[in-house]
Amino acid sequence: MRILYSACLFAICTATASAAEPTAMAGHDHGAMMRSQSKIWTQLPLLKARMKGQDMAARKVIMQPQNIAADAIEAWPNDLDDANGHRSLTIGMGGAPLDKPASGGFQMLTAREEQDDAVRVASTVHYFGERGGKNPTTMFDQVKHELEIVPKPYPREHSRYRAKEDWQFSVRFKGQPLVGQKVVLETSNGSRSEFMTDALGVVLINVPDDFKPEEAQSKGESHGMRRGADLVLAVSHEDGGKRYLTAFNSNYGEDAFAKRDLALGIGFTLLGMLGAAPLLRNRKAAANKEENTNA
Amino acid sequence: MLNNLFPTLARFRFSVQIVMLFVTVYGGALLGSYTVDRISQALPSLSCAYDKMTGDHCILIVTQHQLHHRVGAALAKAGDVALNVFIPTLMSVGVFFMFFFFLNKAFCGWVCPLGTVQEMIYKIGRRIGRPLKRFTPENVGRVRPAKWLMLLVLVLGLPTLAGMGTVANELGDPFCQVCPSRIATTLLTADTEQLAVHTGTGINLFLGALGNALFGFIIIAALAVRQPFCRICPLLSWNALFQKLSPMRLVKKESHEKCEKCGVCEKACPMDIHEIGTAFGSKAFHEDCTLCGRCAEYCPDDDVIQIKFFGFKLFGSSRDYYKARVKFETPEGQPKKRVIPILRAKENG
């Protein structure tokens, strides 16, 4: 029954993903301008945020689980003192609506599936633009499931994961760091790579630069934004006869210098400097020079 | 103790500027990655959101985004304009005003990182003997309207029109695309991304080229002209809108007969506000004043010019202070001695 439910849910999610709705992105609403690919690109569990409606002020956030059969999505607020902040979102036909809690800011979202001796967890972060939202570090430090991948830190507002950049994640099991743990990275652009955690259970991920040049198209470049794609990090671990698999997904953009030209930038800067150069001339010296020339 | 640390108002202000330069450029790295989301996002100074280490955001980027994404979009839908559309914008202005209420335009003169960078470059200009280019009473008036034009067109007009769909989407935050602080503060964090011109569209390229050229011009011009960008900065005009609503202000005597022949305060003013010497009372607190306090430092008469907060004097001009001050630096900012002689000799030779 659960498998059937999972299959149905997956079919719904995939169909919904094909709809022409902008993909949500943590960090800033600009992220909603970035389109992610909706094809099936991984078997790892995912939590995707989708925006319903075009009006930014009235937009609804719908969380959609993929590749995981969960009964609910847990929403964890950045304000641990908020008694109503932790919510269990019921998954309906189109997904689970995510309301904005009073604390706003960063929200951690997780979905858990347990079958026999296997535990699978999908996790992601959603950002509600909210001035004064609390520092999410304590929210990330809070133990939510047995096996976890936690951003350290997560891109803040006006920032995002981008190709060629290095980002750190903590990998822990029952709150304790997992040392020498293999972490797999997959992207919707088709990359797959493996990393290892260090002595502190921290893994340094280099976001792959895997956007193909021929993919450039105006549809994905609304508001002059660069293209976006999805990434998922996954880690598996066995303990007490159980096999745990946890994934953390987000999206990422092209590298910082895509559609930028540093040489051109330096050129225009030098041009501006040249324009200001006459201001540096000493009038007396110029006058003297003129007098000498006349003489 | 404090007198030893800060013997002059200028030293105190420079210390504040250096601290604020670190907060506004590196604050996120020093105080935690998410600091920027929590302080205000409505700072009355050019604390650039493109700087990934900044501790707070400038009010202008928030305003442009809200006009672009919310107000403009709502206006386009006419009937859908609801109060909650304007609430975020009003919130930003409200938070901004909470800061502004206490410090008034001192955010320009004491906090703004670009203001500090320009002042430091000007000091270098003095050290290497570059000439001082000032705006005269006759020509300063030609520059002053530019800041209002920048505010109306780049901060308020184009973002709203972009939200309404009337102009291209790339014009959603045009001021940020030409603001020299975007390039200056990101370069201070060793990030060259903003120096690279965005070539995505023709508008991106145009704005990027303009922004870089302006940045280059300002960096060199600041060696000879005091605060070149401040004069056209939309934040100067934005702050001027609220100038009279703050209890922090510059106060000059209603009349003082020596002012007619003196004019030292005019020479000291980095914004070339000649009115500080010729006008009296509230008229002397001009809209371009950044509350740097140099006019009060260089006024040779007691308490003619004061900086007051809720009517209490924080700093007032005095003859003794003036005498001590001019021993080290002229009103124009030229240090006595310490100029690198080679460069000046080379120029004169």
Specify the pLDDT at position A295. Answer: 43
- B266-318 confidence digits (pLDDT tens): 999 999 999 999 999 988 999 999 999 999 999 999 999 999 999 999 999 99
Q: What is the mean pLDDT of residues B109-127?
A: 95
| Rounded mean pLDDT, B183-196 | 94
Comparing C-alpha atoms, which of A99, A119, A116 is closest to residue A49? A99
Let me know: does A27 contact A155? Beta carbons within 8 Å.
yes
Report pLDDT for A12.
Answer: 39
* Record: contact A264-B225, CB cut-off 8 A: no
pLDDT in tens, B230-278: 999 999 998 888 888 889 999 999 988 889 889 999 999 999 999 999 9
Q: Are residues A216 and A187 in the same domain?
A: yes
CB neighbours (10 Å) of residue A31?
Answer: 24
Residue A9's pLDDT band (boundaries 50, 70, 90)? very low
Residues A117 and A97 in one domain: yes
Same domain, A116 and A215: yes
Provide the residue range defining the domain that includes A279: 261-295
Contacts of A276 in chain B (CB under 8 A): 216-221
Is pLDDT at A260 greater than 50 in this prediction?
Answer: yes
For chain B, the structural domain boundaries read 2-237, 247-326
- Highest-confidence range of A8-12, B75-79, B211-215, by mean pLDDT? B211-215
How many CB atoms lie under 10 A from the CB of residue A57?
Answer: 17
Of the partner residues A224, A256, A279, the one whose CB lies closest to the CB of residue B193: A256
Q: Which residues of B touch A151 (CB under 8 A)?
A: none
Please check whether residue A125 is in contact with residue A26, taking contact to mean a CB–CB distance below 8 angstroms. Answer: yes
CB pairs under 8 A between A and B: 154
Instruction: Of A17-31, A196-210, B154-168, give the lowest mean pLDDT range.
Output: A17-31
For residues A14 and A98, membership in a common domain is answered with yes
Average pLDDT over residues A226-237: 92
Q: Best mutation site among B220, B223, B232, B347 for testing chain A: the one with the most A CBs within 10 Å? A: B220
Pairing of strands A182-187, A228-239: antiparallel
Shortest distance between the Cα of B42 and any Cα of chain A, in A, equals: 9
Inter-chain CB proximity A282 and B348 less than 8 Å:
yes
Same domain, A126 and A68: yes
Distance CA A213, CA A210 (A): 9
Same domain, A201 and A292: no
Same domain flag for A167 and A93 = yes
pLDDT of residue A55: 58
Q: What is the pLDDT of residue A17?
A: 38
Name the residue among B95, B198, B348 with its Cβ closest to that of A259.
B198
- Give the separation between CA A282 and CA A285, rounded to whole angstroms: 5
Tokens representing A54? 């075009």
Nearest by Cα to B226 from B273, B183, B187, B182: B273
How many Å lie between the alpha carbon of A96 and the closest alpha carbon of chain B? 24
What is the reported pTM?
Answer: 0.78
Same-domain pairing of A163 and A286: no
A142 and A6, same domain (yes or no): yes
Q: Are both A255 and A267 inside the same structural domain? A: no
Domain tally, chain A: 2
Positive or negative: CA dihedral B76, B78, B84, B89 = positive
**What ipTM, to 2 d.p.?**
0.82
Q: CA torsion sign, A189 to A66 to A246 to A147?
A: positive
Do A223 and A124 have their domain in common? yes
Q: Which residues of B touch A270 (CB under 8 A)?
A: 216
Contact B131 A283 (CB under 8 A): yes
Pair A188, A93 in one domain: yes
Mean pLDDT of chain B: 87
Is the CB of A284 less than 8 angstroms away from the CB of B209? Answer: no
- B56-110 pLDDT per residue, tens: 888 888 888 888 877 777 776 655 555 556 677 777 788 788 888 888 988 999 9
- Please report the pLDDT score of residue B115 as a whole number: 95
